Structure 1
Amino acid sequence: MNLYSDEELAEILNQDIFHQISEAADRLGLECYVVGGYVRDIFLERPSNDIDVVVVGSGIKVAEELKRIVGKKAHLSVFKNFGTAQVKFWQKGTEYEVEFVGARKESYSHDSRKPIVENGTLEDDQNRRDFTINAMAICLNKERFGELVDPFNGLADLEDGIIATPLEPGITFSDDPLRMMRCIRFATQLNFQIEEETFVALERMADRIKIVSGERIKDELNKIILSKTPSRGFVDLQRCGLLNIILPELSALDIVEQKNGRAHKNNFYHTLEVLDNVAMHSDNLWLRWAALLHDVGKTKSKRWDAAIGWTFHNHNMIGAKMVPQIFRRLMLPLDMKMKYVQKLVDMHMRPIVIADEIVTDSAVRRLMNDAGEDIEDLMTLCEADITSKNEVRKKMFLENFRMVREKLTDLKEKDYVRLLQPVIDGNEIMEMFHLQPCREVGVLKQYLKDAVLDNKVENEREPLMALLMAKAKEMKLIK
């Protein structure tokens, strides 16, 4: 973070792009300001090429004038229904995307996110911004070039690491409930604290999130998940009550039951620890989703066993079945990305079971065969899942995982991925025994596959054929 004077801001904005915007606005006699995230990121010293410009008057006219100044290399898009325009172009090796909008004031009805928009002043426009740190503006007109306009002390909040709203937070969140998600997202991304009155408003108004589409919520959730320490965002979502509305399956894990003096761990906070562990090693959004949902089946699978205490048998399979309904509700993709998450949730116990026992070649072959190309991601998830506070047990697991990884490396070098599928396939089995697709074909295929995976025979035609004939005879398919 760095504090700059107006003179220093003018020097930072001493670029062709801003002088061209300034020229366009001055030609039309209109006030013009760069606003929002671009201004915030100047003080945070973060690079950004997405520039938002507010014009007191017609933003579209200034965009059109900028297009004339820049010339043919600029691409202009006008959105008359929204009173906005966008200019895209390359300049000195950098691609710029400049959004223009006329200064406006907005009002909302209780049950809609669509505002009633009227022309307004710069002050009106700053009033409607979501947070003080996003309400700062820098003038681009030649006479005031570089002058900071900060009516809500956003710079002070930026310096103090505070997320607060320009107006009373109840008004800001009621006008646009998605801002509640954005509030937590910014706090998570920037490692800021949410101002106390603002957080109280989050708790009070959480129910308003129900009028926001799953798609918009999903976008904010993904940004939280992709942050450096995503657990921060999910703790805040849980504390204010938003998580129970948007992802109740995860929220439900935040419980510890005790019986006969025996309690299970809090699976919500365990999940967040796993998520953070994965985040330390991978930027893969869908691997992080798998970490977030890996134990989501524990609420439904939880049972008390007088002999051994609390159990969560088959929580992985139950959780995998829950993934599609969660993805559908949040309008997440239902393609291979969803199937990948489902697969990792389903399989996340497999390497742990192997590592808890003697690490055999046979078990590792089966794991590699079933996980396929996702084996490395599965191992990353499972290592992240080792959060035991028992250091001796944790060390043992991690040592066994090291052995699993060594065996995986050995198998890859031997190209077992290619060799694990028996050379005699289902089509040949059907033709050989004059069968249509049926259970018997599946039994014979699995029998040969098990023999290869367990290294009972080489994956070669002659020994497999001998096994196949013996099994077919046992099943009375041949005499």
Structure 2
Amino acid sequence: MVKTHYKEALHNKVFEIISNAAAALGVDSYVIGGFVRDLILDRGTKKDIDIVAVGSGIALAQQVSSMLPKKTKVQVFKNYGTAMLRFEDTDIEFVGARKESYQSDSRNPLVEDGTLEDDQNRRDFTINALALSLNKNNFGALLDPFNGLEDLDQKIIRTPLDPDITYSDDPLRMLRAIRFATQLGFRIEKNSLDSISKNKERIRIISGERIVEELNKILAAEKPSEGFILLYKTGLLDIILPELTALNQVEEIEGHTHKNNFYHTLEVVDNISKNTEDVWLRWAALLHDIGKAPTKRFFKKQGWTFHGHEFVGGKMTKKIFERLHMPLNQKLKFVQKMVMMSSRPIVLSQEIVTDSAVRRLVFDAGEDVESLMILCEADITTKNPVKFKRYHQNFDLVRKKIVEVEERDHVRNFQPPITGEEIMEIFNLKPSREIGVLKEAIKEAILEGDIPNEYDAAYRFMMEKAGKMGLKVAK
């Protein structure tokens, strides 16, 4: 990585337009940050580009818009001195070069105009301070004041300035360091890593939304455990997700021990990441055992137990989502469902698989039954090859049984063959407890396999049940 000129890499015509627009305004302009980093790492073309102007970024964006083949609307953010426009399939953000100063209770800086060097000084990491000139006299030249090129080559995350200042000024950068290390397979330079531990309490001023944004990117990485181990070792995880770090303990009583559920959880997250890119299913893997810490009990005959940990974990999941300002919509319901059902297929795979048990599993999981199976297969972390093979074979049997039962009984997204309105009409009832009793009895009969999921069979069953309840058909 000794190359210092990347003119041919700036082949997208938008760079030439930006260069011409900057020249027309008499300002210098540079492409900086992630685009340059990923270009050098050959990570593919980014769909977002950051442009810094030594002058007004907003004026440059407006000038560029006027020179594009098809004029594009410019979004202006005056409070931040930035502007954005979309060219083809790429978002381009413009900002004026600036220097920043911070107050202790906020990550929002006090900003004033600055030079390119000032702007590079304020960047979080050396590998994100790399800039390529878009100026006519040295178009494509690399400006690398902090040896970011060497850090890319050595796979190091390092701050341009004193890490204590960098992380204290904007504590979100601590999470970004860990996220980049996880995404890129880099290591965080020792002074920087030590500084994260030292400044960990500063993370409390960061909003839940911004924290979750970084956690989502760590979870989306190829091997998320690497990020969560860094979060744990630096002390950040104990502040952000203490429910998870509570699992990192192994107790022994009378020779009985239990597995370390923290490291087991991270293994499950890595396992599931090989089979799904769904970040919410990965969240379910991360939280699936959090109920084990508060439900852990020891009994002489049984040893260690975690009775009801799935139910407790589901309630804890909601509290975590609320605390971190995560979406309290279908995403929460999905993660909660996965956590609360996380042991169901495992129980099935260890016993004789009955049709009624599978029907109930499909009924309760609905459209998410496949996601549940992916989670439970990821939960197999035994190092015994014989057990590992047997468990997976058992899960294959459960999967086949699910297909068979679903094709025959249609209980996924179950709709009762006879509606409450029909029951009211047949027996001339007003809304009452009896209607719910009959509907529940029909549902239970179908799930138990006593009757098929068909109208005629359900009608006959209902009439028999209604007779026992003393209900009569309306004349």
Band the TM-score falls in, shorter-chain normalisation: over 0.9
Q: Is the 8 A contact 1:10 1:146 kept in 2?
A: yes
Q: How far off is 1:414 after superposition?
A: 3.3
Residue 34 (structure 2) aligns with: 37
Q: How far off is 1:448 after superposition?
A: 2.1
Q: Is structure 2 residue 383 aligned with structure 1 residue 383?
A: no
Residue 28 (structure 1) aligns with: 25
Q: Is the 8 A contact 1:444 1:472 kept in 2?
A: yes
CA distance in 2, matches of 1:428, 1:418: 22
CA distance in 2, matches of 1:195, 1:341: 35
CA distance in 2, matches of 1:400, 1:113: 52
- Judge which range, 122-131 or 72-81, deviates more: 72-81
Q: Is the 8 A contact 2:48 2:91 kept in 1?
A: yes
Letter in 1 for 2:22: A
Q: How far off is 1:464 after superposition?
A: 3.5
Deviations 1:17-58 (A, max 9, x none): 111111111222222111100110111112113111111122
SS class of match (2:104): coil
- Judge which range, 46-55 or 133-142, deviates more: 46-55
Residue 100 (structure 1) aligns with: 94
Deviations 1:399-457 (A, max 9, x none): 11101111122234336237965423334444555655555544433322222222222
Deviations 1:112-148 (A, max 9, x none): 1111111111111111100010011111101111111
CA distance in 1, matches of 2:371, 2:38: 33
Letter in 1 for 2:147: N
SS class of match (1:75): coil
Letter in 2 for 1:393: K
Residue 366 (structure 1) aligns with: 360
Letter in 1 for 2:13: D
Residue 173 (structure 1) aligns with: 167
Q: How well do the aligned residues superpose, as a CA RMSD in angstroms?
A: 2.0
Q: Is structure 2 residue 393 aligned with structure 1 residue 399?
A: yes
Letter in 1 for 2:52: V
Structure 1 segment 130-209 matched on structure 2, within 5 A: 130-209=124-203
Q: How far off is 1:319 after superposition?
A: 0.7
- Judge which range, 410-419 or 200-209, deviates more: 410-419
Letter in 2 for 1:55: A
SS class of match (1:88): strand
Q: How far off is 1:343 after superposition?
A: 0.8
Q: Is the 8 A contact 1:419 1:459 kept in 2?
A: no
| Pick aligned residue for 2:243 from 240, 245, 249 | 249
Residue 329 (structure 1) aligns with: 323
Aligned length: 472
Residue 258 (structure 2) aligns with: 264
Q: Is structure 2 residue 56 aligned with structure 1 residue 62?
A: no
Q: Is the 8 A contact 1:369 1:420 kept in 2?
A: yes
- Report percent identity of matched pairs: 56
Q: Which runs of 5+ in 2 are unaligned?
A: none
Q: Is structure 2 residue 308 aligned with structure 1 residue 314?
A: yes
| Pick aligned residue for 2:213 from 201, 219, 233 | 219
SS class of match (1:265): coil
* TM-score (norm: length of structure 1): 0.93
Q: How far off is 1:394 after superposition?
A: 2.5
Letter in 2 for 1:96: T
Residue 404 (structure 2) aligns with: 410
| Pick aligned residue for 1:15 from 1, 12, 17 | 12
Q: Is the 8 A contact 1:75 1:89 kept in 2?
A: no
Q: How far off is 1:331 after superposition?
A: 1.3
